[in-house]
Amino acid sequence: MKKIIKHYTDTLNYELEKTARLMRMLSIQLFEKLEIVLNIDEYAALDTISCNESICQRDLAKLILKDRANTGRIIKTLEEKGLITRFISTKNNRLVRKMSITETGYEMLRTINKKIENYVYETKQIVAEQEVAAICTSLKRLRERFENLIELKI
């Protein structure tokens, strides 16, 4: 017999969404407090590009869960700041614009990571490292299952 949900606020969806929004708000406030010149979306994109050299816009959009238009704006900003460079490559006999991080981009990442390091450490004081690892593992498994159910239209 199925259990009837009385309220959306009693669901896993609600708890995950609320936690994700809270974490995003905390990140935005942290970046403002530390006067980091990138916003959280630009930082996420730059970090993702640094881990995925020669990535195309579509693949980046899928990894940062932004539509291609927003991803394009983020890429343009990062390129204007000299943090990434774009180039033409071929994929399946088609021309594709790809990007890679510049040395200036790597330096920016190192600077930001150094600035936020203490705050990441404070998070570890709130949640034990073993709990963080367990939570990340569980969330990754959950996300992978959801990815099999959803068609990302990016």
pLDDT at position 107: 98
Consecutive H or E run containing 4: none
What is the mean predicted confidence (pLDDT) over 97-111?
96
What the chain holds in terms of domains, given with CATH numbers, is 8-149 (1.10.10.10)
**Cα(83)–Cα(47) distance, rounded to whole angstroms?**
11
Q: For residue 64, what pLDDT is reported? A: 95
Confidence band for 9, pLDDT divided at 50, 70 and 90: confident
Region label for 145, one of left (φ > 0), alpha (ψ between -120 and 50) or beta (otherwise): alpha
% residues pLDDT > 70 (the chain): 95
DSSP lists the bridge partners of residue 87 as 98
Nearest to 75 by CA among 48, 62, 54, 57: 57
Q: Which residues contact 101 (CB under 8 A, 6 or more apart)?
A: 46, 49, 50, 53, 83, 84, 109
Using one digit for the tens of pLDDT, what is the confidence trace for 65-92?
Answer: 999 899 999 999 999 999 999 999 887 8
User: pTM of the entire structure?
Assistant: 0.83
Q: In the sheet where 55-56 sits, what is the strand order?
A: 55-56, 94-101, 84-91
| pLDDT tens sequence across 22-72 | 989 999 999 999 999 999 999 999 999 999 989 999 999 999 999 989 999
Contact 98, 16 (CB under 8 A): no
For residue 105, the model assigns a pLDDT of 98
